[in-house]
A and B are shown apart, each in its own frame.
Chain A
């Protein structure tokens, strides 16, 4: 079996290990994905005669709580990575499990929000505002689920790598962290764009 090159040591030309370059290229494509949806949102909003005030239709306190949850989860990821760099593996796992719990908390809060809307027979088909709201927050929610899956894998069966090759494992956590920060970053823009403006 041939080993994947430059998983730990940086490539002599790029100065980056392969995983990190790959994640940044992936994130670039993600920027364009969410960018296309934001662009559609602007097009629909600018082109309509009237547009509802998000703060009157959506639950701002719950969304604010979710913003706090995601920001704190970004902190726990970076602290997990820092702990791995310092060789404090036990501490790192606590931080990373905290991230998973916070991510689950985010989804539960979002579940309450969606549940309230569905109980009032509000769906993406109701109007353009709700179509945009459900599409953007739904896609974002799928990204949160994706992050949870990767973190749980790295903390369970994938954690064997921590014993075999700690540097490689730390790099994997850094790559997952980059993805997670991006998910946080998207929410930072979604929150005011949908709920407040």
Chain B
């Protein structure tokens, strides 16, 4: 966390850079959606990859995760693991049908 007034002002400049990057990446996301990548999988991957970069910028800088206490990282680590399990469920369902056939 920023302590001195100077450090806080310095952080404000970083926030502005993050904002501009997020706005540009939003334009890139829309632009990429009109480009024909040849496969739906690649288009989805690129779309979500850009969204992940944008989400990481928001989490790291606006939510100050780059200099947070260890306990928060533990909470988020467990959350990310459970989220990954949740995202795997649809594909496991699909795999089940593959194994049954």
How many angstroms between the C-alpha atoms of A148 and B42 in the bound complex?
Answer: 37
Considering the complex, which residues of chain A in the window 67-85 have a beta carbon less than 8 Å from any beta carbon of chain B? 67-68, 71-72, 74-75, 77-79, 82, 85
How many angstroms between the C-alpha atoms of A74 and B64 in the bound complex?
Answer: 13
- A86 with B5: CB separation less than 8 A: yes
Chain A interface mostly helix, strand, loop or mixed?
helix
Given A71-B23, A192-B48, residue A43 in contact with residue B89 (CB < 8 A)? yes
Q: How many residues of A contact B (CB 8 A)?
A: 45
CB 8 Å contact bits of B35-66 with A (1 = contact, 0 = none): 00000100110011011001100110011000
Chain B interface mostly helix, strand, loop or mixed?
helix
How many angstroms between the C-alpha atoms of A185 and B22 in the bound complex?
Answer: 11
Given A71-B26, A189-B55, residue A16 in contact with residue B72 (CB < 8 A)? yes
Is the CB of A4 closer than 8 A to any CB of chain B?
Answer: no
- A79 with B90: CB separation less than 8 A: no
- A192 with B47: CB separation less than 8 A: yes
List of B residues within 8 angstroms of A47 by Cβ = 90, 93-94
Given contacts A16-B72, A21-B71, could you give 14 more A-B pairs where the C-beta distance is less than 8 Å? A24-B75, A31-B79, A39-B89, A46-B94, A71-B19, A71-B22, A77-B62, A181-B58, A181-B59, A188-B58, A192-B47, A196-B30, A196-B47, A197-B40
The interface of chain A, by Cβ under 8 A from chain B, is: 14-16, 21, 24-25, 28, 31-32, 35-36, 38-39, 42-43, 46-47, 55, 60, 64, 67-68, 71-72, 74-75, 77-79, 82, 85-86, 177-178, 181-182, 184-185, 188-189, 191-193, 196-197
